[in-house]
């Protein structure tokens, strides 16, 4: 291939968070925070094609086929359309023009970490294009910096670290600042049988409500800054649930998983009233009546994707009941690769 017209592809998996919201950075620095999540076979794709001129073309087929044409790298603007992509591009020394195409297999506002997945995906593709050779840690931290600049959000870290640290089910822990240990990621060593049971018993359903996470994340951050005891105690208790869930998964006995998800969901709802609503509670009730024994909303809440853990052989009945309530069921399996570039 002529080096002047290179093509780089990247694919970043989205994630299901069994325990999330505990990655608020100031809280993690003070008393730590633990996460359990899984990368799934729903992906964010990025393709970079170099151009013979200096122009930069951004194309987002999943955003009403939006195309943004920029005269050169010197004109990139993180506050313009597709500003997050523009901010990432600003961080690389681009010797030529390029066309960047990105799209997600899941709807916007699904609560599966798509903003960070697109960021890491673009970073990985540009890293390959420019030969910068960033480490996984550097990719995650650069993604956090870019999101802070373009989206004015500084809440968490799990969505940036999840794709770059490989696939599978993971336990992620941010140690308190005085420990000197930082962020650690453990890929849980689960047998194929346990993975199969997870994939069979977990139901992933889209509520039909797309809602930006920022308002809820900002409200939780404000609660912590005001030293709201309910918010602080809920975050700490959710981290404890993550540690218990890790042991549950490693033991191979998944029977406590439903009650643990319920406990996490009850704590999650204490963080802010907008985390749940009538539609979410309706779907939760329908799922439990059909045979789900636990569940929660993924991401910040308020809408997006819900996950349910089903009693033995009740997964089919739960899917049918949710479909009858106009929820969209996603066929998901555990992605074992993480971020890929080719």
Domains of the chain: 3-179+337-341 (3.30.230.10), 192-330 (3.30.70.890)
Residue from 283, 277, 268, 189 nearest 230 by CA: 268
The string of pLDDT tens digits covering residues 259-272 is: 999 999 999 999 99
Q: Considering the chain, what is the average pLDDT of its residues?
A: 94
pLDDT means over runs of 10, the chain (342 residues): 76 96 96 97 96 95 95 94 96 94 89 91 97 96 94 87 96 97 96 97 93 85 96 98 98 96 97 94 98 96 95 97 96 95 96
pTM of the shown model: 0.92
Residue 4 has a pLDDT of 60
SS (H, E, C) the chain: CCHHHCEEEEEEEEEEEEECCCCCHHHHHHHCEEEEEEEEEEEEEEEEEEECCCCEEEEECCCCCEEEEECCHHHCCCCCCCHHHHHHHHCCCCCCEEEEEEEECCCCCCCCCHHHHHHHHHHHHHHHHHCCCCCHHHHHHHHHHHHHHHHCCCCCCHHHHHHHCCCCEEEEEECCHHHCCCEEEEECCCCHHHHHHHHHHEEEEECCCCCCCHHHHHHHHHHHHCCCHHHHHHHHHHHHHHHHHHHHHHHCCCCCHHHHHHHHHHHHHCCCHHHCCHHHHHHHHHHHHHCEEEEEECCCCCCCEEEEEECCCCHHHHHHHHHHCCCEEECCCECCCCCEEC
């Amino acid at each position: 291939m002529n080096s002047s017209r290179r093509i780089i592809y990247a694919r970043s998996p989205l994630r299901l968070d069994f325990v999330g919201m505990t990655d608020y950075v100031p809280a993690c620095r003070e008393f730590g925070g633990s996460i359990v999540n899984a990368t799934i076979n729903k992906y964010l794709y990025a393709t970079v094609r170099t151009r013979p001129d200096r122009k930069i073309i951004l194309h987002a087929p999943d955003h009403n086929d939006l195309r943004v044409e920029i005269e050169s790298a010197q004109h990139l603007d993180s506050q313009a359309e597709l500003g997050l992509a523009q901010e990432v591009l600003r961080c690389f020394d681009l010797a030529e023009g390029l066309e960047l195409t990105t799209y997600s297999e899941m709807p916007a506002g699904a609560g599966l970490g798509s903003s960070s997945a697109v960021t890491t995906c673009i970073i990985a593709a540009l890293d390959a294009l420019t030969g910068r050779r960033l480490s996984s840690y550097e990719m995650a931290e650069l993604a956090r910096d870019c999101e802070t600049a373009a989206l004015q959000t500084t809440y968490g870290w799990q969505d940036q670290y999840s794709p770059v640290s490989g696939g599978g089910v993971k336990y992620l822990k941010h140690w308190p600042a005085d420990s000197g240990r930082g962020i650690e990621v453990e890929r849980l060593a689960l047998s194929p049988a346990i993975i199969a049971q997870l994939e069979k018993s977990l139901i992933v359903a889209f509520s039909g409500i797309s809602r930006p996470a920022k308002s809820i994340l900002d409200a939780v951050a404000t609660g912590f800054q005001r030293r709201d005891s309910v918010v602080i105690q809920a975050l700490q208790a959710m981290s404890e649930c993550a540690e218990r869930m890790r042991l549950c998964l490693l033991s191979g006995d998944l029977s406590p998983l439903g009650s643990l998800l319920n406990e996490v969901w009850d704590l999650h709802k204490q963080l802010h009233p907008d985390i749940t609503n009538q539609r979410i509670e309706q779907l939760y009730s329908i799922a439990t009546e059909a045979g789900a024994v636990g569940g929660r909303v993924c991401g910040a809440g308020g809408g997006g994707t819900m996950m349910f853990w089903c009693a033995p052989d009740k997964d089919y009945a739960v899917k049918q009941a949710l479909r009858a309530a106009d929820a969209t069921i996603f066929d998901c399996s555990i992605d074992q690769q993480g971020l890929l570039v080719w």
